[in-house]
Amino acid sequence: EDKVVQSPLSLVVHEGDTVTLNCSYEVTNFRSLLWYKQEKKAPTFLFMLTSSGIEKKSGRLSSILDKKELSSILNITATQTGDSAIYLCAVRGEYNNNDMRFGAGTRLTVKP
Amino acid sequence: EAQVTQNPRYLITVTGKKLTVTCSQNMNHEYMSWYRQDPGLGLRQIYYSMNVEVTDKGDVPEGYKVSRKEKRNFPLILESPSPNQTSLYFCASSLEVAGGFSFRHNEQFFGPGTRLTVL
């Protein structure tokens, strides 16, 4: 059965720390992996990854995909309290005609 | 403003009373989807639609119906709600082109969410 597993489930750090969030997947006919940030409302898009080894970067956030290991990491450097959120990983495959499968999320708390 | 809207945002109802949660997008997106979010389980896809009159089951379709009569609207129908359908529901949409595989084709835009409580 297709699945997406994120780790850790929860993480508490202090401002300025660097964090690495993990996402591993088993999906039929992988197409893309997406990262979302969810604060108190709807998820907002961060990155989409389709090719191994190419890092996507946006400010202090970066992400990379490893299709051989069936995984991706999301890095956040110099964390700030505003980074506190649930980070969701989703994988798009061709199972059942293009559905989207989400992991359970990693809850990141950044303390001042 | 490009957006996905959902109504109502909050709803408390009783078991068995039919309800509909509306979803509308103004971005001319082909792909629309419904998710429910429960603690510890993340977002789970209920139904999705690749285009008008085309709908497919996601991971957790039981107890739900959808329709896609127009491109912009994708209502979620609970014919006989039960307490286990108490959840936070999100509608999402994205631009899709057959065979397309670029950035814009996979980013989903989410609605603000509907918090449903079934007593």
**Which letter does DSSP use for residue B105 in this model?**
H
Nearest chain B residue to A31 by CA distance is: B101
pLDDT for position B64: 98
A66 against B99, higher pLDDT: A66
Mean predicted lDDT score pLDDT of chain A:
90
Inter-chain CB proximity B44 and A102 less than 8 Å: yes
- Strands in chain B per DSSP E: 4-7, 10-13, 19-25, 31-38, 42-51, 54-57, 65-66, 76-78, 87-94, 109-110, 114-118
Residues of B in contact with A44 (CB under 8 A): 110
Residue A97 has pLDDT above 60, yes or no: no
pLDDT for position B104: 47
Query: Residues A69-90: pLDDT tens digits?
Result: 999 999 999 999 999 999 999 9
The pLDDT confidence band at residue A94, using thresholds 50, 70 and 90, is: low
Sequence-ordered list of residues with C-beta below 8 angstroms from that of A50, at least 6 positions apart, any chain:
A31, A32, A33, A65, B101
Query: Residues A2-56: pLDDT tens digits?
Result: 789 999 999 999 999 999 999 999 987 788 899 999 998 899 999 999 888 888 9
Of the candidates B45, B57, B113, which has its C-beta nearest A41's C-beta?
A: B113
**Residues A35 and A74 sit within 8 Å (Cβ to Cβ):** yes
pLDDT for position A34: 92
Kindly give the confidence (pLDDT) of every residue in chain B, 119 residues in length, as a single tens digit, with 9 standing for 90 and above. Answer: 889 999 999 999 999 999 999 999 999 998 899 999 998 888 999 999 988 998 999 889 999 999 999 999 999 999 999 999 999 999 999 887 555 554 445 678 999 999 999 99
Structure tokens at B92: 């999402």
Inter-chain CB proximity B45 and A31 less than 8 Å: no
What is the DSSP code string of A47-88? EEE-STTPPEEETTEEEEEETTTTEEEEEE-S--GGG-EEEE
Mutate to test the interface with B, among A3, A24, A37, A102 (most CBs of B within 10 A): A102
